[in-house]
Amino acid sequence: MENIIIKAKNRDLIGKKVKVLRKEGKLPAVIYGYKMTPTPITLDLRDATSILNKLSSSSIVSIDLEGKEHAALVREKQRDFIKGSLLHVDFQVVSLTEKAHTNVAIVLMGESPALKEYNALIVTGITEVEVESLPKDLPERITVDISGLTEIGDAIYLKDVSIPVNVDFLTNPEELIAVATAVKEEVIEEEEEELIEVEEELEEPEMIEHGQKEEDREKKEPE
């Protein structure tokens, strides 16, 4: 397991005052967990962003807090919705000798033959799975091959996925991961086109009904 280190410092500024830190190129964060009380810290924004963008939720990172390293998981990353930049990060300290719980992303790979044969649509279910293992055994991702989806209705459930060595899945094994469906919905790009179609559907029944009434009236009139 690669030892990824992020340097951190204790911080006194909390709440709205952290805006000052962000202007100085610093990233507010908090570290808590195994034998550690919640501690506000700061990271270098540029360095931390470069590292954190490459990590998954199950990656272990060493937080070097003023000379003392703490093995931790990245529990939450808050971002600016417009700029996409990091605003705050939560780190959970873990014991390297005790099992940890975390969510691992599910990544689909391969190509389903049902896509070409039946013009199917692959509908996905859960996108992550909760796992338990020692930190050193935590997988970065769970890869699922969908090439076995050959017919309409074929599906892959969590129980069908091979579990990595020394790892336990805590998520319900009956959870759906992917299924090949027969219907492929067409998306109308222009809202105006959709509106016109709806109007035409509403007008047509009225015209038919009107025509039927006229025909019925003609039949009732004496010759």
Identify the CATH number of the domain in which residue 146 sits: 2.170.120.20
Range of the domain at 24: 5-96
What pLDDT was estimated at residue 36? 93
Inside any domain, residue 131: yes
Same domain for 84 and 114, yes or no, is: no
Q: Which conformational region is residue 216 in: left (phi greater than 0), alpha (psi within -120 to 50 degrees), or beta?
A: alpha
What pLDDT was estimated at residue 207? 43
Inside any domain, residue 15: yes
**Domain count of the chain?**
2
Inside any domain, residue 35: yes
Q: Which residues contact 159 (CB under 8 A, 6 or more apart)?
A: 173, 174
Domain C-terminal end among 96, 130, 155:
96
Inside any domain, residue 197: no
Same domain for 125 and 152, yes or no, is: yes
Inside any domain, residue 199: no
Threshold 0.75, pTM exceeds = no
Same domain for 80 and 141, yes or no, is: no
Low pLDDT (below 50) residues in the chain: 184, 186-190, 206-223
Same domain for 68 and 108, yes or no, is: no
What pLDDT was estimated at residue 222? 47
Same domain for 115 and 72, yes or no, is: no
Domain C-terminal end among 81, 96, 111:
96
Identify the CATH number of the domain in which residue 76 sits: 2.40.240.10
Half-sphere exposure of 208 (CA within 13 A, CB side): 6
In this structure, the number of other CB atoms found within 10 A of the CB of residue 184 comes to 11
What pLDDT was estimated at residue 223? 45
- The structure tokens 């996905």 sit at 124
What pLDDT was estimated at residue 1? 57
What pLDDT was estimated at residue 193? 61
User: Alpha-carbon distance 36 to 84, whole Å?
Assistant: 30
Residue among 128, 112, 124 at smallest CA distance from 179: 124
Same domain for 75 and 107, yes or no, is: no
Inside any domain, residue 203: no
Inside any domain, residue 194: no
Same domain for 136 and 123, yes or no, is: yes
